[in-house]
Structure 1
């Protein structure tokens, strides 16, 4: 036990030292594209959330962790915008139909994502491609098409923020709002009734990293200016955080490096402790044999006694008595006299075969006569009684 205590104390000290070193070491920049409104990392949306509220102060922001279908189904939405900024979009046929109803009612939808999903890709006839060139430090310059918002100098971003474009666009349905310097479309609009759908293949242009620069803030403001001033903005979090109620303790642990490694070290220490404790610390407990069931032996002894005495008449009498008692207790029938009335009532109540019941009572009458009961008669009686028990209801 002394060695185990030293082991546990040493493990605890090492764990504390490791956690202290992890806590005080410089935190590296987190470049994960989370697209969450509360994240201040480069590719979070903290700045967009604050700036949107300052640009449209009268707009009420409504966060939604539900799929599009559940958010819009059976809800009368008027003067509302729907904003989706995510790495990948998960929209099926039901979601799309609700979006179309939503837009035809005069509302607008703004989607910024790298991957619009197979259903929207087929429905809108859109394909996203990239012009990213790792040999270049700057992205391909981009700009708007409309002269009223088009900048004199195109926008140029680093880290490939504006390098994605639509390699296929159905221009008969879509209105082109933006292009890159090579002429590829990178911002489109689809009109649905009184509303519209705006699709931007570069969600990072709305991130903290882009908005903290003058060019990024100007581009994002002009892109979002296509959305009209609305009473409500539905901010989608289903495509970034997942469905509501999908949080768990382990998900929080794995989100932070320090907590994740602390969890791993705890599990490894627990496994090592279990391996050390696998040694037996007491004598083997002897196996106590299970008590024998003597009821079976008793039945066998009684059976042997009857078999040796060969008193078939006594056995037949007892089986007939048990049968009549069963009929009286189960069907409430009088068995004083075995006649046609009893057999008819028994057939009706038990649901048994009439011929089998008549055969049974005929055999009872035969073995009840004075004289010796043969083995054949006893076996026949037993079979008929057992058959009646099985068929009786």
Structure 2
């Protein structure tokens, strides 16, 4: 076997070995919240969406429309609308739109750590905001510290009270208000000092622990507005964290028997960008193997066609004479334009240049006409007076721009050709 063949075999074996090692390496998790339908990382929503799509009896779908667009698009049907974000939402225009939809009978669930001021003023609540740090979550989880508890207290006739346990970094935000004009669905326990600082109250507490709501609902017209301050629970990690998916389904059950639409209009801009075709190919097993087989076929094609081959000898054709074709084209253009005078001018320029080159006569110099006509007659053997009459007749056409007929054009050109032919 030649040395080049051994080199190719070595490269192929190396690539296969690296591919096998890469497949066996543990997957690296990214803990940044995206809430994207395509993200299979802990804080994406690929698993979350797929689970809801097969679990909710009335249907579950995704949309990229804002509340304003939804309100303008459909003013008749009622449905449940779910919006998840990790920052302030929605805008003032969207608040007006979602209030109109709720008044018509839609049920809207907003899940975020921070809501707009207009929504807070309309529904009369405030909420605390805390920054999520993936590093703090990893450090807390590896320290084996106790989790925070969220207690479900809503709809006690349907669901009994139950505690669900999450890491503090996933449920650190909560609502602040003295008297809630809403129905509390879930609460969490925090220290009194923390609550006093967030709520800015100055009252005496006998206990060191108090309850603050993390999920609540408002009746608005014929519909309902549900607020939750724990968006990180509505992710892949939230539905796979032990039995805590029960907490999410209890919240979603507040939508009743309505089909649920999750809007992605309030996510980060980078998370809303759809995946490239190759990412989609790699996410589907049949397409992924089709891509692998295609790459393998290309590699084999390169290996078998890499040997040197005789280059095809090109066929060199004899250059074609395009002069006649060009002449016919120019003649056709002049015939279509009916510009006979310009054609005579072009011919006269060529005629004068021929006389200047062959017999050193410049017929464009009017002062030397007598000498020029005499020399032309001497060289051509033609009548001097006839030559003078012709040149003086054609000059108004050349310099004056006079219009001439086809017959005149032919006569002038034939005469110039006759003079040239006699030189």
- What TM-score results when the alignment is normalised by the length of structure 1? 0.51
Name the SS for the 1:164 alignment partner.
coil
Shift of residue 63, structure 1, vs aligned partner: 2.1
Whether contact under 8 Å (1:36, 1:45) holds in the other structure is: yes
The Cα offsets for residues 364-390 of structure 1, whole Å up to 9 and x where unpaired, read as: xxxxxxxxxxxxxxxxxxxxxxxxxxx
Is it true that 1:112 corresponds to 2:120 in the alignment? no
Aligned to 1:165: 174
Aligned to 2:74: 75
Aligned to 1:188: 216
Is it true that 1:220 corresponds to 2:248 in the alignment? yes
- Structure 1: which 5+ runs fail to align? 1-16, 250-393
The Cα offsets for residues 244-275 of structure 1, whole Å up to 9 and x where unpaired, read as: 899999xxxxxxxxxxxxxxxxxxxxxxxxxx
2:259 to 202, 213, 232: 232
Instruction: Measure, in 1, the Cα distance between the counterparts of 2:259 and 2:118.
Output: 27
Whether contact under 8 Å (1:175, 1:190) holds in the other structure is: no
Shift of residue 39, structure 1, vs aligned partner: 2.5
Instruction: Measure, in 1, the Cα distance between the counterparts of 2:51 and 2:224.
Output: 23
Aligned to 2:91: 92
Instruction: Measure, in 2, the Cα distance between the counterparts of 1:120 and 1:248.
Output: 39
Aligned to 2:62: 63
| Aligned length, in residue pairs | 290
- 1:373-384 to 2 correspondence within 5 Å? none
- The Cα RMSD (Å) is 5.6
Whether contact under 8 Å (2:141, 2:167) holds in the other structure is: no
Instruction: Measure, in 2, the Cα distance between the counterparts of 1:138 and 1:26.
Output: 27
- What TM-score results when the alignment is normalised by the length of structure 2? 0.48
Whether contact under 8 Å (2:217, 2:225) holds in the other structure is: yes
The Cα offsets for residues 317-372 of structure 1, whole Å up to 9 and x where unpaired, read as: xxxxxxxxxxxxxxxxxxxxxxxxxxxxxxxxxxxxxxxxxxxxxxxxxxxxxxxx
Shift of residue 142, structure 1, vs aligned partner: 1.3
Whether contact under 8 Å (2:61, 2:260) holds in the other structure is: yes
Whether contact under 8 Å (2:92, 2:116) holds in the other structure is: no
Instruction: Measure, in 2, the Cα distance between the counterparts of 1:178 and 1:18.
Output: 51
Aligned to 1:36: 36
The Cα offsets for residues 266-285 of structure 1, whole Å up to 9 and x where unpaired, read as: xxxxxxxxxxxxxxxxxxxx
Name the SS for the 1:33 alignment partner.
coil
Name the SS for the 2:175 alignment partner.
strand
1:202 to 230, 249, 268: 230
Shift of residue 21, structure 1, vs aligned partner: 8.9
User: Cα 1:104–1:169, aligned 2, differ >3 Å: closer, same or farther?
Assistant: farther
Whether contact under 8 Å (2:107, 2:225) holds in the other structure is: yes
